Structure 1
Amino acid sequence: MSGRLPTTPPTLADVAERAGVSRQTVSNAVNNPDLLRADTLARVQEAIAELGYLPNRAARNLRTRASHLIGLRIQPVLEGTANPTMDRFVHSLVEASREAGYHVLLFSGEPGEPLAGYDDLLRSTAVDAFVVTDTYLGNPQASWLDSRRAPFVAFGRPWENPTATHAWVDVDGAAGCQLATDHLLDKGHERVAWIGWRKDSRIGEDRRAGWHRAMHARGLPTTGLASRVEDTVVSGRSAAGVLLDEARPTAFVCASDTLAMGVLHTLHERGLRAGDDVAVVGFDDSQVAQVVRPGLSSVRQPLEEVAVEVVKALEGLLGHPRVAHPGVLLTPTLEVRDSSGPDRR
């Protein structure tokens, strides 16, 4: 060991002295670089780099009322499901936010208290804005934040209030399920069953509409071919059994990979081969879909693109001047695997 005492961290005054400018000029270089001439800014930035100066973020936040933090409430994964959507979205949001100079602050709350956590963060000005992901029917988060003029962007359409003017980004679930159904119809299937969520799920009904639209466009019946259940493997398993007994479908389109996994279980129990005997397509392209045998075809949401659009909207809301961001609806793709089965035409 050298025995040298640790030096104190460089200060704003040290940077000013090294660059030969005033303290205010250094402050402007850190907080308002557009105010400086290019050569002056370059000289200050060079001094900052040489000294290893780190601006006092807390003090800057007090002056600018900006934390560069985006709040995102997360919910625990439900038992008996195979839904990776939020995990993929959170990782994508963290990356997109970092590139824009922001960080994501995750917080939790009781499932029965949808506003838990928001009020504390809003009062303490700990975050600059929020990303809301729960836009299901009756959820008060969007309207509550809007009433308090808190900046936020929703991942999901304002299902309950189509006239809402807040920024949102969503994926066209109906288009995704129509794509999945058309894929099976193009293979020669005519009795394609649907397993979706309860009728009070706007997202579930939107996805069901895509299946229904594809079937009717080909003049094919849908009566008796649809089931609405809870989003669990057990529910998908049970619904598949009933439909196989009563409707004799040759293929299934499901509102989630979780439900599709239930269908695969039922086919296995009955000695039927997924793909060869009965085709199955899920939604979300989960890791399970990618590794389960024989490989589950699934609709894939462009979550990386969703995150980029969300951050663009946030930058507009937090910019000066503030820029309104219209709703953005993105189109999913279909990942085709062996559960689609061979061409039957």
Structure 2
Amino acid sequence: MARLPTVTDVGHAAGVSRQTVSNVLNSPELVKPATREKVEAAIASLNYRPHASARRLRTRKSSTLGIRLDPMSNGISGSVLDRFLHALTEQADARGLRVMLFTATDPEDEIRQISRLRDGADVDGFVLTSTFYEDPRTEWLIENDVPFVTFGRPWGIDDLNDPLHLWVDVDGWSGVHDATNHLLESGATHVSYLGWPSHSGTGDDRRRGWRDAMTERSGLAANTIDRLNLEAEDGVTEGSSALRDLLDAGIQIDAVVCASDTLALGAMLATRAGVPVVGYDNTPVADAIGLSSVEQPLTEVAAGALDLLLGPEGREIVGWSEQSTEPRHRLYRPRLVVREPTAISLTRSDTSR
């Protein structure tokens, strides 16, 4: 087995002392730029990685991020947070950080778990997911000066500029707005929206994208647009039932845009052949059945979360700093993936015969 390169090896390759290499790794501001560049080139050529355990002993930091492992979800789109966690773990490892998973039964229990991990010096900072209105977790973290970043905006607060709340998110408004415009440009006029019940920050944001596009381009009256707005819990059966009720009421529908791929599958089961449906999350199921869907850039989101949490130096978990002039948030635009439906029949029988 090949021997791993050491600090001494890097020093020999760069023609500097072991201490200079250590300074480049831990206090780069002490090293002249030309020397720092030589050491960094040697590190890259040798593929040297600092010994994580030694660094943790030296800095008295765990170099560990904590993130709650969400409960299992039956929805097709439940894999989204799993994909984010995978991307976060991969990128944290590349930066010499570890990710610790923990479970909690509810937000209050999550706060208790965060407090326990922080008090035990097991974790330096946290990544929170699934933010919501009046989220008690972020308030507690801010009050207790615990570094954190959320995947999701601080709904109901100053969701763009709150300097104490670092966050990354995907612009659901633009994703659904683009999807609705695509359907309108394809010839549809009566585009229905199938989303979650109100008072969901993420869901309301996506619904606004649909409504704004319909108001701008459909030519329909406001009351007609209102009739095309559907709410259902995130389940295939629930989505299918909501859309069937609308169709049975004689409401014209040319196309459907949905808040998730789970609801989109329900819509495909309820609509007649030829009615286009667009989902959200671009899950493997969407790919398998030829469902057009909005894809979230989860790799970029994970990288953005780490960038914010690690600060301008990008070397340890620091969270927000009064001295930092960098933006405290990152908002990423999703992209619409357009597909042709497969030959699999997912539509209900045509009862007009």
Q: What is the TM-score of this pair, normalised by structure 2? A: 0.77
Match of 1:316 in 2: 311
Q: Which of 88, 94, 97 matches 1:93?
A: 88
Q: Shift in Å at residue 32 of structure 1?
A: 4.6
Once residues 49 and 179 of structure 2 are traced to their aligned partners in structure 1, the CA distance between those partners, rounded to angstroms, is: 52
Q: Shift in Å at residue 80 of structure 1?
A: 4.0
Match of 1:8 in 2: none
Once residues 145 and 132 of structure 1 are traced to their aligned partners in structure 2, the CA distance between those partners, rounded to angstroms, is: 10
Judging changes above 3 Å, is the alpha-carbon distance between structure 1 residues 308 and 23 closer, same or farther for their aligned structure 2 residues?
Answer: closer
Larger CA deviation: 142-151 vs 221-230: 221-230
Given that 2:68 and 2:110 are in contact with CA atoms closer than 8 Å, whether structure 1 keeps it comes out as no
Given that 1:83 and 1:256 are in contact with CA atoms closer than 8 Å, whether structure 2 keeps it comes out as no
Judging changes above 3 Å, is the alpha-carbon distance between structure 1 residues 59 and 200 closer, same or farther for their aligned structure 2 residues?
Answer: same
- List alignment gaps of at least 5 residues for structure 1: 1-10, 13-20
Q: Shift in Å at residue 296 of structure 1?
A: 0.5
Judging changes above 3 Å, is the alpha-carbon distance between structure 1 residues 27 and 329 closer, same or farther for their aligned structure 2 residues?
Answer: closer
Once residues 262 and 212 of structure 2 are traced to their aligned partners in structure 1, the CA distance between those partners, rounded to angstroms, is: 23
Q: Shift in Å at residue 115 of structure 1?
A: 2.0
Judging changes above 3 Å, is the alpha-carbon distance between structure 1 residues 151 and 215 closer, same or farther for their aligned structure 2 residues?
Answer: same
Match of 2:138 in 1: 142
Match of 2:200 in 1: 201
Aligned ranges 1:222-241 → 2 under 5 Å: 222-241=225-244
| Secondary structure at the counterpart of residue 106 of structure 1 | strand
Q: Which of 120, 124, 129 matches 1:124?
A: 120
Q: Shift in Å at residue 59 of structure 1?
A: 6.0
| Secondary structure at the counterpart of residue 247 of structure 2 | helix
Q: Which of 259, 264, 271 matches 2:268?
A: 264
Larger CA deviation: 162-171 vs 321-330: 321-330
Larger CA deviation: 238-247 vs 205-214: 238-247
Once residues 242 and 151 of structure 2 are traced to their aligned partners in structure 1, the CA distance between those partners, rounded to angstroms, is: 29
Once residues 94 and 50 of structure 2 are traced to their aligned partners in structure 1, the CA distance between those partners, rounded to angstroms, is: 19
Which residue type is aligned with residue 284 of structure 2? Q
Once residues 237 and 313 of structure 1 are traced to their aligned partners in structure 2, the CA distance between those partners, rounded to angstroms, is: 40
| Secondary structure at the counterpart of residue 82 of structure 1 | helix
Q: Shift in Å at residue 265 of structure 1?
A: 2.3
Aligned ranges 1:69-88 → 2 under 5 Å: 69-88=64-83
The C-alpha deviation readout for 1:37-68, integer Å capped at 9, x for no partner, is: 8989999xx9xxx9xx9987556434413221
Q: Shift in Å at residue 228 of structure 1?
A: 1.3
Which residue type is aligned with residue 185 of structure 1? L
Once residues 199 and 279 of structure 2 are traced to their aligned partners in structure 1, the CA distance between those partners, rounded to angstroms, is: 20
Once residues 306 and 119 of structure 2 are traced to their aligned partners in structure 1, the CA distance between those partners, rounded to angstroms, is: 23
| Secondary structure at the counterpart of residue 117 of structure 1 | helix
The answer on 1:331 being equivalent to 2:333 is yes
Match of 2:279 in 1: 282
Larger CA deviation: 314-323 vs 119-128: 314-323
Match of 2:346 in 1: none
Name the % identity: 41
Once residues 200 and 146 of structure 1 are traced to their aligned partners in structure 2, the CA distance between those partners, rounded to angstroms, is: 24
**RMSD after superposition:** 3.6
Given that 1:33 and 1:41 are in contact with CA atoms closer than 8 Å, whether structure 2 keeps it comes out as no
Given that 1:82 and 1:288 are in contact with CA atoms closer than 8 Å, whether structure 2 keeps it comes out as no
Match of 2:154 in 1: 158
Q: Shift in Å at residue 81 of structure 1?
A: 3.9
Q: Shift in Å at residue 303 of structure 1?
A: 1.1
Match of 1:219 in 2: 219
Once residues 36 and 173 of structure 2 are traced to their aligned partners in structure 1, the CA distance between those partners, rounded to angstroms, is: 55
Judging changes above 3 Å, is the alpha-carbon distance between structure 1 residues 167 and 85 closer, same or farther for their aligned structure 2 residues?
Answer: same
Given that 1:110 and 1:116 are in contact with CA atoms closer than 8 Å, whether structure 2 keeps it comes out as no
Once residues 42 and 330 of structure 1 are traced to their aligned partners in structure 2, the CA distance between those partners, rounded to angstroms, is: 35
Which residue type is aligned with residue 288 of structure 2? V
The number of equivalent residue pairs is 318
Which protein shows a greater Rg? 1
Larger CA deviation: 278-287 vs 25-34: 25-34
Given that 1:71 and 1:129 are in contact with CA atoms closer than 8 Å, whether structure 2 keeps it comes out as yes
Q: What is the TM-score of this pair, normalised by structure 1? A: 0.79
Q: Shift in Å at residue 24 of structure 1?
A: 7.6
